[in-house]
Amino acid sequence: MKKLLYPAFLVLLILSFSCKKTVPASVSAHIEDGYIVLETPEREPGQRSALAMKCEPLDVVRVAFVGIGGRGSAAVYRWTKLEGVDIVALCDLEQNKIDNANRMLEENGCHMAEGYVGEEAYKDLCKRDDIDLVYIATDWLDHTPIAVYALNNGKHAAIEVPAAMTIKECWDLVNASERNQRHCMMLENCCYDFFELSTLNMAQQGLFGEVYHVEGAYLHCLAEVWDNRSDWRIFYNMDHRGDNYPTHGLGPICQVLNIHRGDRMDYLVAMDTPAYYGSEAAKKYRNEDRCEEGDHTISLIQTEKKKMIEVQHNVFSPRPYSRIHQLTGTMGFANKYPTEQISVKSMGGHEALSKQIMDSLLMTYKPEFLKGIEEKAKKVGGHGGMDFIMDYRLVYCLHNGLPIDEDVYDAAEWSAVQELSRISLENGSMPVKFPDFTRGDWNVVNGFSYATR
């Protein structure tokens, strides 16, 4: 027995040393029962849970946009098509982007918004008393600092994906939202795509039985990015190992599994490949041999209820776009890419339903809130309409004082996969425990739902 225990002790000691080297200094962690455990800080005095949080209804949502690039300018346009909103201010590093956005506002029958230019101009914007919501569409690294500043100034925050880049930033968002009792929504538009919305409703209505395995991904060859030496995304991917963009695939499947609404992500194990194409891109665009991110990264996540989540990431390989979006249950199955497929045991066993029957099923299970805005969403656009649906739902919840669909805990949990996958990879694919961003409240709410009046 002693001969077996002694080597095991040495292995644990080595793993502990490895963890200390590769877990960020800002994160408290220890080894426990073979897991890397990231500790959950206690809630500070004055903070309250933001779970199912309701805020005062707003007759008009007064919004300011920070970051008026491609995503930001598209968002400004979509908001000109929403009712009960007022675009008050615009902020960017470049005056010409604000000027272009203001011309667009005028062309769409809106008044011009006040402009703010500069790296810290958003601070003056956030201090205004005539703004309810700050909509953030900057580069990734600025998402959390701007959102926290907005929340601390009493504003709701809506953040493009990913909401946070580190575990510390995830906690910063949670703490700011809880402290100020203001909404913090990560703008995960893929939760509002049509197939995802209908299959979520199918799962909730029990059509697939007990859903126990789900898959999501971001498989997108970003050749146009790699060919642009000024694009910051190429440099971030080369400098950071792990799943650097997890939320598009992860968000919709987390809603299916009721994450922090009856279940929670327990631990993660990640693996990746060598950086074949990534190394070539590093040589071509940076004259370097180093690319931290592997060409393909897979993260396996087990939930508290022993369900399984698989998330993939690949932005290098020449392959067709896919978010996978796959649901496997005891009574049925759904998959979106490369073609939409649904099978239901009660409707023919394991064979895929015909397109006619599947389309009828998708129509039958279309959420009620979608039926009234679907045509307008497709007309306004934004990834086929899902961007408009996302904005519409946010405004609807703010108008009616309802909990938002994607709360601050979603933002933290989905974004956390980025750093957790890196920690696992740098420790030999060792399992890493998820922080409980709800601090024990993950089973207080019973199931995910879209709030209505």
Q: Is the pTM of this model over 0.75?
A: yes
Do both 166 and 143 map to the same domain?
yes
**pLDDT of 76-100, one tens digit each?**
999 999 999 999 999 999 999 999 9
pLDDT in tens, the chain (453 residues): 333 333 433 334 344 444 444 687 677 899 999 999 998 999 999 999 999 999 999 999 999 999 999 999 999 999 999 999 999 999 999 999 999 999 999 999 999 999 999 999 999 999 999 999 999 999 999 999 999 999 999 999 999 999 999 999 999 999 999 999 999 999 999 999 999 999 999 999 999 999 999 999 999 998 777 766 567 887 898 899 999 999 999 999 999 999 999 999 999 999 999 999 989 888 887 788 889 999 999 999 999 999 999 999 999 999 999 999 999 999 999 999 999 999 999 998 889 999 999 999 999 999 999 999 999 999 999 999 999 999 999 999 999 999 999 999 999 999 999 999 999 999 999 999 999 999 999 999 999 999 887
348 occurs within a structural domain:
yes
212 occurs within a structural domain:
yes
Do both 216 and 294 map to the same domain?
yes
CA 122 to chain centre: 23
Structure tokens given for 328: 């496997």
Last residue of a domain, one of 129, 163, 187: 187
Do both 183 and 195 map to the same domain?
no
17 occurs within a structural domain:
no
Ramachandran class of 297: left when φ > 0, alpha when ψ lies in -120 to 50, beta otherwise:
beta
Last residue of a domain, one of 187, 205, 233: 187
48 occurs within a structural domain:
no
CATH number, domain of 155, equals: 3.40.50.720
425 occurs within a structural domain:
yes
CATH number, domain of 374, equals: 3.30.360.10
| CA–CA gap between residue 162 and residue 244 (Å, rounded) | 9
401 occurs within a structural domain:
yes
**pLDDT of 184-197, one tens digit each?**
999 999 999 999 99
Last residue of a domain, one of 170, 187, 204: 187
User: Residue 106: which domain range?
Assistant: 61-187
45 occurs within a structural domain:
no
Do both 177 and 256 map to the same domain?
no
Do both 201 and 328 map to the same domain?
yes
20 occurs within a structural domain:
no
Do both 158 and 74 map to the same domain?
yes
Tell me how many domains the chain contains. Answer: 2
**31, 131, 410 from 150: Cα distances, Å:** 36, 10, 19
Do both 219 and 149 map to the same domain?
no
Do both 242 and 312 map to the same domain?
yes
Do both 177 and 196 map to the same domain?
no
Do both 279 and 424 map to the same domain?
yes
**Which stretches within 140-288 are classed as H helix?**
143-152, 167-180, 194-204, 223-226, 232-239, 247-256, 276-286
| CA–CA gap between residue 213 and residue 307 (Å, rounded) | 6
Do both 385 and 239 map to the same domain?
yes
Do both 154 and 217 map to the same domain?
no
